[in-house]
């Protein structure tokens, strides 16, 4: 069994590489078509061989599964379809035995409407838990339950109003996401104390940290008010609930009451839609004791137009470089960033940013090289290390994700052309990331002996782990090399970042420098050979070639040419030591 070296020291998380598991789709041990904890246990050696340091586990708590586990009905248990607490303890021990850490997904902006807290809140308007959630009466002058009578005009992220009318009490409750995901009222100190107690319980069990789902939405601006109209009669309330007035206070309180004083550093990752670079510096400044790093969305919104997520536009490399470069510069002195191309909420990286056809292997390797050489902690989403691609969804019946299902129904009901709606869903639906992991070329890709809960991508016979793990030229092997380089080269973790060729439409180039060592990363984001006129190209051509996704280039002639010539989707890393 391969064993990875567990990252250690006070800033171990800066040197770490994180691997995200979406349990429902990773590995099924009992043939019911749904991934589970024992399935993950059976595949831990795959992750150890890859070389990652941290496993981020998407929610495995009891849940009605309205939003695939992000609607939690019990924070201190395990969803039976995934296994038991005993299975979880075995998984945690297996992770630790292999020198890795385990991070839980923490969803505390909202609960399920089936959580006992909300059941009690809903049942008794005069009870002590009523104020644990956001309850409001109808808009002044309007009848409760009438169209447009919602307390504010906010739109839900999952279509429709963000308020649900409760006939029994005549009031509405807030749900920024599904109507089955009511928002917790963090203004109530009892709510915060209950959350902190639950977090301490998991840490005492041995968990190594938390990835905090939409954590910058827990503070709402009071009084709750309308946002600018953006969806017909519905408005965008994000400015009123993202990074609200008490968010820093809440996170500092959480740190003090949950994380401070523990013998080992607890990894804290804040997922923060809409966060700015300037806000991220505050959230991740170690002196402020809030979170270690942020998960931001700017770079994965660049292919979306003013109409929102489903208003798809071509991605311009200039925009991508400007965005990632701005975050590198903004967090250079203080703070830390998460680095990712995809996750359970994003389509497959090689389909979105690369070429999932002729140059799938080359572009998948290129994307890994570019991302992991930035400053920040890189994340790998399950299957990314194989170059898994988006799915050819044939029709609306193929989708399972609530966001996609609701959007299709809402858009078609509103008069949109069904074919046009499908054309928007296919490239960006979250279901692209949620189809089963490809383990081998057997039926169901080795994911399950039963029928998977969502169809397997039909290209699994060509793209699977068994075909790659022993192939030195595979995407998997390249990820191993990139991870090993990050572990071995301090300049990648701590070095200065300098963007080169910011106005080049096809070449992404930058340097990382630390204590006399400089790395050059140069990559071609196109399917054509291109020159890369980086400064001092001749000297770089003669430098040490460290890593690439093509065979090492021939030694540079003397004199060397004034530019580097890159093959389609090629990436190279050079090193010079003064």
Active site residues: 213, 271
Which pair of structure tokens corresponds to residue 555?
Answer: 């030694």
Q: What is the spatial distance between Cα 61 and Cα 64, in angstroms, rounded to a whole number? A: 10
Residue of 123, 246, 272 whose CA lies nearest to 191: 246
Contact 538, 560 (CB under 8 A): yes
Helix (H, G, I), strand (E, B) or coil at 53: coil
Q: What is the spatial distance between Cα 542 and Cα 192, in angstroms, rounded to a whole number? A: 58
Beta strands in 421-506 (DSSP E): 496-500
Classify each residue of 240-274 as buried b or exposed e, where b means 16 or more C-beta atoms within 10 Å of its C-beta.
Answer: bbbbbeebbebbebbbebbbeeeeebbbbbbbbbb
Q: What is the spatial distance between Cα 292 and Cα 335, in angstroms, rounded to a whole number? A: 8
How many CB atoms within 10 Å of residue 505? 12
DSSP 183: B
Contact 438, 465 (CB under 8 A): yes
Residue of 265, 166, 179, 253 whose CA lies nearest to 215: 253
Which pair of structure tokens corresponds to residue 258?
Answer: 């949950």
Contact 479, 547 (CB under 8 A): no
Residue of 49, 117, 25, 43 whose CA lies nearest to 391: 25
Helix (H, G, I), strand (E, B) or coil at 200: helix
């Amino acid at each position: 069994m391969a064993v990875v070296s567990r990252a250690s020291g006070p800033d171990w998380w800066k040197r770490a590489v994180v691997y995200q598991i979406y349990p429902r789709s990773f590995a099924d041990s009992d043939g019911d078509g749904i991934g589970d904890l024992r399935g993950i246990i059976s595949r831990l050696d795959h992750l150890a061989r890859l070389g990652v340091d941290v496993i981020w586990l998407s929610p495995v708590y009891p849940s009605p599964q309205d939003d695939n586990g992000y609607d939690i009905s019990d924070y201190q248990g395990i969803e039976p379809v995934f296994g038991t607490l005993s299975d979880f303890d075995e998984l945690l021990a297996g992770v630790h035995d292999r020198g890795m850490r385990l991070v839980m997904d923490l969803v505390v902006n909202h609960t399920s409407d089936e959580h006992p807290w909300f059941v009690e809140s809903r049942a008794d308007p005069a009870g002590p838990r009523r104020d644990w959630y956001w309850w409001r009466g109808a808009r002044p002058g309007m009848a409760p339950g009438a169209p447009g009578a919602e307390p504010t005009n906010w739109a839900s992220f999952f279509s429709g109003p963000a308020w649900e009318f409760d006939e029994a009490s005549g009031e509405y409750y807030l749900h920024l996401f599904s109507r089955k995901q009511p928002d917790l009222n963090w203004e109530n100190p009892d709510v915060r104390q209950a959350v902190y107690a639950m977090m301490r319980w998991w840490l005492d069990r041995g968990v190594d940290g938390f990835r905090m789902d939409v954590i910058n939405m827990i503070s709402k601006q009071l009084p709750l008010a309308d946002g600018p109209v953006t969806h017909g009669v519905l408005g965008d309330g994000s400015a009123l609930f993202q990074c609200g007035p008490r968010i820093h206070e809440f996170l500092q309180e959480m740190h003090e009451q949950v994380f401070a004083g523990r013998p080992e550093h607890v990894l804290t990752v804040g997922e923060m839609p809409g966060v700015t670079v300037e806000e991220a510096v505050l959230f991740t400044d170690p002196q402020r004791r809030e979170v270690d790093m942020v998960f931001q969305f700017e770079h994965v919104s660049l292919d979306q137009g003013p109409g929102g997520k489903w208003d798809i536009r071509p991605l311009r490399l200039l925009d991508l470089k400007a965005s990632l470069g701005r975050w590198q510069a903004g967090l250079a002195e203080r703070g830390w960033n998460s680095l990712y191309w995809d996750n359970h909420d994003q389509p497959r990286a090689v389909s979105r940013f690369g070429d999932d056809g002729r140059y799938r292997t080359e572009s998948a390797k290129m994307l890994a090289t570019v991302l992991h050489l930035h400053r920040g902690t890189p994340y790998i989403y399950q299957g990314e290390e194989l170059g898994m691609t988006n799915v050819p969804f044939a029709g609306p019946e193929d989708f399972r994700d609530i966001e996609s299902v609701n959007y299709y129904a809402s858009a078609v009901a509103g008069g949109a052309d069904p074919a046009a709606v499908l054309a928007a869903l296919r490239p960006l639906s979250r279901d692209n990331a949620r189809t089963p992991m490809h383990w081998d070329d057997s039926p169901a890709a080795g994911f399950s002996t039963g029928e998977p809960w969502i169809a397997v991508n039909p290209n699994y016979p060509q793209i699977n782990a068994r075909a790659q793990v022993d192939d030195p030229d595979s995407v998997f092997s390249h990820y191993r090399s990139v991870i090993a380089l990050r572990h071995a080269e301090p300049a990648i973790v701590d070095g200065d970042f300098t963007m080169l060729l910011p106005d080049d439409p096809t070449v992404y180039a930058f340097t990382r420098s630390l204590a006399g060592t400089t790395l050059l990363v140069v990559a071609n984001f196109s399917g054509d050979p291109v020159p890369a006129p980086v400064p001092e190209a001749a000297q770089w051509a003669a430098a040490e070639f460290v890593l690439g996704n093509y065979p090492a280039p021939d030694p540079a002639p003397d004199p060397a040419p004034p530019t580097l010539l890159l093959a389609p989707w090629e990436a190279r890393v050079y090193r010079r030591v003064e």
